[in-house]
Structure 1
Amino acid sequence: MIEISRVTSGNPKPLANYTEASVADGIVFPAGQLASDFKTGVPAEAKKNPAFPYYGSDIKLQTRYIMENLKRTFEAAGASLKDVVKAQVFLTDLNDFAGFDEVWKEYFEVPPPRTTVGTTGLLIKDTLVEIDLIGHTPELGAHKVVTSANPKPLANYSEAVETGGLLFLAGQLASDFKTGVAPEARRDPAFPFYGSDIKLQTRYIMENLKRTLAAADASLEQVVKAQVFLTDLTYFAAFDEVWKEYFKVPPPRTTVGTSGLLIKDTLVEIDLIAYVPKDGMAHEVITSENAKPIANYSEAIAIGPFIFAAGQLASDFKTGVPAEARKHPAFPYYGSDIKLQTRYIMENLKRTFEAAGASLEQVVKAQVFLTDLNDFAAFDEVWREYFKIPPPRTTIGTSGLLIKDTLIEIDLIGVR
């Protein structure tokens, strides 16, 4: 059995129900970090002095505050920021990106793969950025940076990193980083009614991801987890048509709306985790009795000790949100839609983990996407019912989810 270590440093303790970090099989999974002391909101050292409004930068101050906290988290796990292999950054305003990126490069000689997207909101008032990292302990040795012939990004991140047989890729956009959206990823302006921008962008990204994986001696067949961020969910059906062209057995996937992406006119960002097929490594597709999705993804994949589950919504994929996950229309003031949806999802995730030979006690990382952050407190009440020791968690606002009237999507990683 894989031992899970729970990590606690001297950082401020959150108000909500999650652990600062988990370590399992040498991989470090911290919770997403905000610039808060969880007492006053954004602390004085993470905001400009109101007497000097034109001195300093709130995004830089918040980013430094977060990065210093993350340094302490990694040190408490016996690692350092040099051991970070994956980053996700959620910004409430993409105009803050350049200031964030200036600070980011101060903390990394070799910056890790990164995905940066817009979010509709964060849980602490006036916070501008949440940073979510994955790393490893020194026992796994030095990680390997992967580089292919793909266009080189303008910002400070690596294309991919391998550690412990796992591959963590940067989120990919349909850009050549010279002209914006690459010409081959957009419709010809002379033929505006021929082709599809979302299909062209998705294919461009998928071909780049193929090259990244090939540079690590892997392929799309070794992808064990995908996250897809769409600027407009009406693009989903066309995106999904292209997606199934690339996968015989599609990996678990989480698809959510984003308030924006970093390159003008890009419509989708795709974020993957994979593995290198060496030493007999092979993955197992996990299937339970849960309702089968309409779209092209697997319920979960296990590789080595790790379980990567698809993001779960409160849907039976037949009627939309099922009756047991919504208030009875004859009794509108009884119950809570967010609590009912959260319980429905958690029961599904219990079955997923049981089918993989594990339980919710083995969850090492959670991400939660809410369409309305006002639903958070009620969600968190239900969350604590399912965990004696709650896992590290990142919770952000999303511009939308794929099933009508769903309020929340929950994405988990665990071990068995």
Structure 2
Amino acid sequence: MAIEKMGLRTYGVGHKPHASFVKAGRWVFANGIRALDEHGVVHPSVLREDRPLNAPPRAEREARFIFDILGDGFAAANSSLANVVRVDQYYPDWRTVDPYHSVRRQALGKVVAPSTSIIVDGLMNQDALVEVQALAFTKESNIKAEPLAPKKVGGPAESGYAPCLLVDDLVFVAGQLARDDSGDIAPQARVPDTQFWRGTRIRLETRYMVEHRLKPALEAAGSSLDLILKAQVYLSHPEDFPMFMQVWCDAFESAVPPTTVVPVRHPALGTKEATIEINVIAASTRAKARVQDVKCDVPLISNRMLPARRLDDLLFVAGLMAVDEGGLVPEARPEPTAPYYKSGIELQTADILRKAEKIFAAAGTDLANVARAIHFHADLGDFAGACNAWRQVIGNDALPYSAVKVNESMFVPGAKLILDLWGHLPS
């Protein structure tokens, strides 16, 4: 069965229609959910321009509006908020987080799905306070979700989310930081205050997170590091990328799982000192034989990384950039002496989509079956150009996109976009 795109809207001139919900087999993806009206601006009932300081606070009004959208959208796809297994939030301002969490606990009930919350540089609506992505299973799937709380693997009590969720043969692990029970960075994950070179901070944080957070969470759910299907990594010091990749690659016995690494601006994570956050989706051990490594000749940010992994009807893709071993690909570089004839972002997106087409084809599907496309932009002014490149590939079909602005230091000089794709393989 092919994916079904739902909640279609078009915002702005020249932008592609937005598929805010995608039903993909047993799963429903909610993408780029903000508190907008039909014109693509923040809803007047959220802004309350007549009495903006009326209770409840603006951030709570916005969160309630978003969860109303989520509830209606999931219901239309024969799912519900009770079936949510993962939720991701992007905020331009950390002060939104606590009031949002209060509403989220009320909306999702006693078990809040594994969550990742990141401070970003901007959203598509400059006055929006939060954007949400969510994933849920359908009612007819008869899937059961089992919350797990491995010892010493948790999150802030006020957030209320389950650190780990076993859902059929999938394991969802919330965004993890290298912190201990106090909520602060663990002593083992920091260089002593009196020392210059007793370890390097990013290496210590990453190793601590792998050994004391990710491994215990996965083992409690009957999984392991080598069964990770997809990881998302947020680095608040982009210059830490090479040392992070060394530690991350060393953590795996075989290939590095598909990983999207996103540069954000410090501080951007729940603990002010933290420089890295990682969330993962993995397969349970009982599903090991069904995990398929998707291999094809596509340059990635690390040559040890798999382009994608597949479990049943879901495709998990590594973060894609317009890069090769020489840096920014030649095809994505405008002519230096005549740069105005071509759009740099369109050239970069076109290269990324060529890579994506090869990966999806190697997995047995195509870009018509993208269930989620998160655009991490150095400049959100580039989004319309990225849409133009998408249009060359999938025409005017709706795109299940999210677009956020992150740190413009994207590891490779000249790079402007990191694309994070999730796919479906129709039966």
TM over 0.5: yes
Query: Which residue, 394, 397, 411 being the options, matches 1:402?
Result: 411
Q: Is the 8 A contact 2:4 2:22 kept in 1?
A: yes
Equivalent residue number for residue 186 of structure 2: 182
Which residue in 2 is equivalent to 1:250?
Answer: 256
Aligned residue number for residue 354 of structure 1: 361
Structure 1 segment 332-411 matched on structure 2, within 5 A: 332-388=339-395, 389-400=397-408, 401-411=410-420
Question: How many percent of aligned residue pairs carry the same amino acid?
Answer: 28
Q: Is the 8 A contact 2:153 2:163 kept in 1?
A: no
Q: Tell whether 2:145 aligns with 1:160.
A: no
Distance 1:46 1:239, change over 3 A: same
Which amino acid counterpart does residue 175 of structure 2 have in structure 1?
G
Q: Cα distance, 1:237 vs. partner?
A: 1.3
Give the CA deviation at 1:285: 1.7
Aligned to 2:74: 74
| d(CA) in 1 for partners of 2:56, 2:79 | 31
Structure 2 residue corresponding to 1:412, chosen from 414, 418, 421: 421
Verify: 1:200 aligned to 2:204, yes or no: yes
**Residue in 1 aligned with 2:131?**
130
Letter in 2 for 1:137: T
1:240/1:295 contact within 8 Å kept: no
TM-score, L = length of structure 2: 0.92
Q: Deviations over 1:384-415 (max 9, x none)?
A: 23225334221111113221111111111112
Q: Which residue of 2 aligns with 1:143?
A: 145
**How far off its partner does 1:54 sit?**
6.1
Residues 117 and 52 of structure 1: CA distance in aligned 2, closer, same or farther (over 3 Å): closer
Where 2:239 maps in the other structure, the secondary structure is helix
1:202 maps to a residue whose letter is: T
Deviation string, structure 1 residues 138-190 (Cα, Å, up to 9, x no partner): 22332111221124322221112222311111010111241511112111223
- Hey, what's the Cα distance between the residues in 2 that align with 1:198 and 1:294? 18
| Counterpart mapping for 1:11-410 below 5 A | 14-15=11-12, 16-17=15-16, 18-39=18-39, 41-51=41-51, 53=53, 55-109=55-109, 110-138=111-139, 139-154=141-156, 155-207=159-211, 208-247=213-252, 248-259=254-265, 260-278=268-286, 281-291=289-299, 293-294=301-302, 296-318=304-326, 320-388=327-395, 389-400=397-408, 401-410=410-419
Q: 1:257-310 CA distances to partner (integer Å, 9 max, x unpaired)?
A: 123111020000001111112156332222222235445421111122221111
> Contact 1:255–1:402 at 8 Å: present in 2 too?
no
1:98-120: CA deviation from partner (whole Å, max 9, x where unpaired): 11111111112210000000111
Shift of 1:82: 0.3
Give the conservation status (yes or no) of the 8 Å contact 2:46–2:65.
yes
- Give the aligned length: 412
Structure 2: which 5+ runs fail to align? none
Conservation of the 8 A alpha-carbon contact between 1:29 and 1:134 = yes
Distance, in Å, in 2 between the alignment partners of 1:291 and 1:31 is 27
Partners of 2:388 and 2:174 in 1: CA distance: 33
Contact 1:341 1:408 in 2 (8 A): yes
Structure 1 residue runs without a partner (length 5+): none
Letter in 1 for 2:419: I
Letter paired with 2:79? A
Given residue 414 of structure 1, which amino acid in structure 2 is its aligned partner? G
Measured in 1, the distance between the counterparts of 2:411 and 2:137 equals 33
**Displacement after TM superposition at 1:356 (Å):** 1.4
Secondary structure of 2:289's aligned partner: coil
Separation (CA, whole Å) in 2 of partners of 1:241 and 1:323: 27
3-state SS of 2:328 partner: coil
C-alpha distance in 1 between matches for 2:52 and 2:154: 39
Q: Given that residues 26 and 140 in structure 1 are in contact (C-alpha distance below 8 angstroms), is that contact kept between their aligned partners in structure 2? A: no
- Calculate the TM-score normalised by the size of structure 1: 0.94
